[in-house]
Structures are given as structure tokens and as C-alpha cells.
A and B are shown apart, each in its own frame.
Chain A
Amino acid sequence: MPTKDAEFRAGLMEILPRLRRFSRSLTRHEADADDLLQTALERALKRSDQFQAGTRLDSWMYRMIKNIWIDEIRARTRRAQTFAPEEAGEGMGAEDPTFDRQIRAMSIERAMDTLPEDQRIAVSLVLVEGLSYKEAAKVMDVPMGTLTSRLARGRQALSDQLADQEGARA
């Protein structure tokens, strides 16, 4: 008989690569992404009894990852306001020695970097993770209209950013 715990873990294992991708698109930083994922898994294992069988484990996890990340951002912002007003989130990619991807990839990364958190989460859930609007709105705890407007503004901002970068290089 498979135990409930083993089933839950197997379910997480199956979606792990996608959860990692989501963490990565939120944090834009490999080490941050894996820390975030690790924290989320710890929390999920601890709260596995709160997960309702028959509902979507991926949405449950996306929401958990999103909440932990938002808390982290808030904590960082507080720290940054106290100590180093200019440093919050800046140049994270540039200092990363593994950050040697193609210019195109860097552009996307940089453009994602400029989005407000709300818009980035919407873009990540729908564009990267392929969630439906309805599922994404549920994960974000917002009405559909809010989701679609964040999504539209986020994509427009990405588009503007990429055009700017294009212009700067030309």
C-alpha cells in the first residue's frame, strides 16, 4: 500500500522541475531560486495534511512559492531601506559568474528584472508555466480582471524594455 506521505512526495517529485522553473523566473537568480524552492518544499512537507487530495498540487505549490517569495522581497526591502537604499535587487545578474548566457537571454532576464513583482508573477504563471487565466488568478488570489490587466501591463513593459535594449545596442 502506498502511504499518503510517499504519494505526496512522489507528486512533488513529479512537478519539481516546473516548480524550480517558476522559482527561477520569480527570483531571476539561480541560487535564490533553489533556496526559495527548498524553503517551499520544507513548508509543503510540514503542511502536507493541509493539501486537499484531488486538488492541483502544482497550483498549491505555486501559491506557496509565490507567498514565500513575496515575504522575502518585503524583508529585503526593509533591510535595504535600513542599510543600503540603492542596492536592493540591483546588479544581481551582473555579479553572477554563471551569467554568461547569450545576449538575447540576458535581455529577457533583464527585462523580467524590471517588472513589478505582481506583473512578473502573472507573466511567470501564464507565459512560463502555462497556467490558464483562471488558475493563475487563483494562485495569485486576485479576480480575473486583475490578473489579465497585470498580465497585459507586464507584457507591454517587457516589450518596451526589450525595444529599449535593442535601441541601446543599435
Chain B
Amino acid sequence: MTYTDEDILAYIDGEMPAADRTAFETALAADADLAARTEHHRRLGNSVKSHYAPIANAPVPDRIAEMLALRDEAPAGDTLIDRFKAWFAHPLAMPGASAMASLAIGILVGAQFMPLQTGISGDTSLASANLAAALSAADGTQAWQMPVTFRDETGRYCRAFRGTETGTSGLACREGESWQVNLLVTGNGGEAVGYQLASSPLPAIILESVDGLIEGDPLDAEAIETAAQSNWME
């Protein structure tokens, strides 16, 4: 049988019914012209796909990411984010505030690419050994502070973290034996400018995410110690 371009494309796109696929593949093996047309379209498709792929791996510009961090209207009640803002607005709670003032926001979801010093290892979103060790330690480490620890709806432990020197902060949740970094905001440690949450060591976007994920209240020091001792198993 002769195949139209639409047939070829359906085959490449995985849209050809399974029943027709075998016949198509038999024809492919026997018909050099069909094979060439198929290969041509496959390559074209791959070129287009790979041309646009880097855009989905690049950090989203601040002004866009911030749109999702801010609320349209002030929440009526005592939401967690307000409580955090209040805590961190206290002078004693803002040792690194100026380092956080100038922020470059990048969002990491799933497999992404960020340099090692941000705390992500290689081309996955698993925490690097250094960050993972800090996440597993009840009190974090010198390099990584753990301002908020909580459990999400599914019972997983999650921690908001912050690099003391880098200004990089983020949110990681326990996945089995490792820590999955769900959100990462890279800070460049510049001087204080009028960033919206300059008084907070955690950017609004992270507090929003905490607010979205948390079930119940954040863990207190004792609960964190217990969780760390049980290796953060649910």
C-alpha cells in the first residue's frame, strides 16, 4: 500500500494505531523511498524540537516568576507566609538579609541544569552530596541553613534551605533515600536593593510553595531531631 505524509507523520509521532504499525514497519524495511521520507521527517521533527528545548531549561525571568509568587489580594487570615514574614522581619532573625536582597530567580522543576555550586548535582534535580548532607542534618550545616522544615500532604518531609554564602535558597523534599530539589532560587549576594521581601531570608516564591505544600504546622526543633534520627523516613 502507499503511505501518505500524514501516515508517515502519525507513525513518527506515535499516533499510528498499533494494528497498522507492523504493516508500516514491514513496508519501511522493503521500500527505500518510504524509509527516506520517514527518516527525513523524523530528522526535521528532532531539529525543531531540539531548537526550542533550551528555552524550557533556561531560568524564567524574575518578573514572570514573581507574578506567581505574589498574591492578587492580601490574604484575609493568618497564613503561614504572613507568619514567616513576621518572624523574619524581626531584627534578630535577619542576619543574611542584605545578601538576599538582590535576587535572580530561576525555577527548577524536574530534570534541569544548574551549576554544581548551587547545590544541585549534575543534570538531575537531586541535591548534591553537600546539600543533601545539610538537608539530612537536623540543624543544617554552616553552608546551608534550614529555616523551615515541614511535612506535606503525603507525609513526606520537606525543608526550605538557604545557602549562607551564596544567597541561593530553595525547597527540597525527601524522596526515598535522597532529597529532591523542587524549587531553587539563585541569589547573587549583591548589595541591598528594594526587593519585595528584603527582610526575609527566604524569597516569597519559596514561602508561597511552602504554604502550598505544608500539612499542619512546621516541625519544631524536637520533631526535626526525631525525623533526622529516623533518617527522614515517613
Contact = CB atoms under 8 A, between A and B. Distances in A.
A121 interface: no
A41 to B, nearest CB: 5
A41 B48 CA distance: 26
B6 A152 contact: yes
B64 A34 contact: yes
A158 B40 CA distance: 12
B68 interface: yes
Among B15, B41, B68, B71, the most chain A Cβ lie within 10 Å of the Cβ of B68
A127 B48 CA distance: 7
B60 A16 contact: yes
Interface string B1-30: 000111001100101000000000000000
A111 to B, nearest CB: 9
A2 B214 contact: yes
Given A37-B64, A152-B4, 8 more contacts: A6-B208, A7-B212, A16-B60, A17-B58, A17-B60, A38-B64, A41-B68, A126-B13
B151 to A, nearest CB: 12
User: Main secondary structure on chain A at its contact with chain B?
Assistant: helix
A66 interface: no
Interface in A138-164: 148-149, 151-152, 155-156, 158-159, 162
3 nearest interchain CB pairs?
A: A6-B212, A17-B56, A21-B55
B57 interface: yes
A10 B209 contact: yes
A13 B56 contact: no
B64 A17 contact: no
B64 A24 contact: no
B68 A21 contact: no
A109 B51 contact: yes
Nearest to B48: A127
Interface in A1-54: 1-3, 5-7, 9-10, 12-14, 16-18, 20-21, 24-25, 34, 37-38, 41-42, 45-46
B65 A127 contact: no
B49 interface: yes
B56 to A, nearest CB: 4
Contacts of B107: 13, 16-17
Interface in B39-79: 40-41, 44-45, 47-49, 51-53, 55-58, 60-61, 63-65, 67-69, 71-72, 75, 79
Interface of B: 4-6, 9-10, 13, 15, 40-41, 44-45, 47-49, 51-53, 55-58, 60-61, 63-65, 67-69, 71-72, 75, 79, 107, 109, 153, 183, 205, 208-209, 211-215
Among B4, B60, B75, B183, the most chain A Cβ lie within 10 Å of the Cβ of B60
Given A16-B107, A20-B55, A159-B41, A41 B208 contact: no
A126 B6 CA distance: 13
Contacts of A3: 75, 79, 211-212
Nearest to B211: A6
Nearest to A105: B51
Contacts of B68: 9, 12-13, 16, 41, 45
B48 A38 contact: no
A9 B55 contact: no
